[in-house]
Amino acid sequence: MCLILVGGCGSLGPAAAPQSPAFYALDNARRAAPAADVVRHTLPTGAPTLVVSAPRAAAGFDSQHIIYVRQAHQLEYFARSEWIDTPARMLSPLIVTAIEESGAFGAVVLASGSASGDLRLDTEVLQLQHEFGLRPSRVRFVLRASLVEGTSRRVIASRDFSAVVTAPSDDPYGGVVAANQAVRTVLEELAAYCTKTTADWAPGRSEDHFRPAASRSKAAAPTP
């Protein structure tokens, strides 16, 4: 009888509190020194202004879930680990910081109702996932970017950027560390790309100028 009473009292005690989720962030992309592959230019008079649109995200990557993959085509997420915000929203200030450091633009601003500029940068997160198909695990980040002329709204350049980084550990924190490194790598490449494209751009320049030489020759060839 005593044992039954003790057991009954124990069952009336407070239940164990559920474990709180851990929250992680994509950190600022600013580095102690500029990236080696970003060519700095002396700003000419009237250097263009770049408006950075709010990044979008592909289906499945538009939430705060930290995505991982154990087999192709199946997305899963950690139950007790999340981003503090969606990756797309966390990327906005990081993109601005990375491109500001290129020195190619008179100003780099986030899009708002009143913001206007010579060029606009549109981006979309295609993938940000921790992959466990191989050991050690790795994180893959893929970002699509398009530069659009402000007045004509013509796309003058578009490219997909990607980085795959080995995770230091096969757990959510290891994936977060690798994700931050992948984001830094991609944003450095994006800044270099925007710098080079801007150096070749002039308002109203023909779209043919931005095509590969082979494409221009083919387009110019007379129809038989």
Question: Residue 16: is its pLDDT beyond 60?
Answer: no
Domains in the chain (CATH in brackets) are: 49-200 (3.40.50.10610)
pTM of the model: 0.77
Q: For residue 76, give every residue at least 6 positions away whose Cβ sits within 8 Å of its Cβ, in sequence order, or none.
A: 67, 68, 69, 70
| Per-chain mean pLDDT for the chain | 82
The residue-averaged pLDDT of 4-16 equals 50
CA distance 224 to 222: 6
Q: Which two tokens stand for residue 182?
A: 């992948």
pLDDT top residue among 21 and 137: 137
**Using an 8 Å Cβ cutoff, are 179 and 169 in contact?**
no
Output the pLDDT for position 201. Answer: 77
| pLDDT classification of 132: cutoffs 50, 70, 90 | very high
Tell how strand 65-69 and strand 76-83 pair up: antiparallel
**Using an 8 Å Cβ cutoff, are 69 and 131 in contact?**
yes
Burial class (CB in 10 A: 0-12, 13-18, 19+), 44: exposed
| pLDDT classification of 199: cutoffs 50, 70, 90 | confident
pLDDT, tens digit (0-9, with 9 covering 90-100), for 54-64: 999 999 999 99
Q: What is the DSSP letter of 116?
A: -
| pLDDT classification of 18: cutoffs 50, 70, 90 | low
| pLDDT classification of 128: cutoffs 50, 70, 90 | very high
Question: Residue 66: is its pLDDT beyond 80?
Answer: yes
- Residue 73: φ, ψ to 5°: 75, 0
CA distance 76 to 214: 43
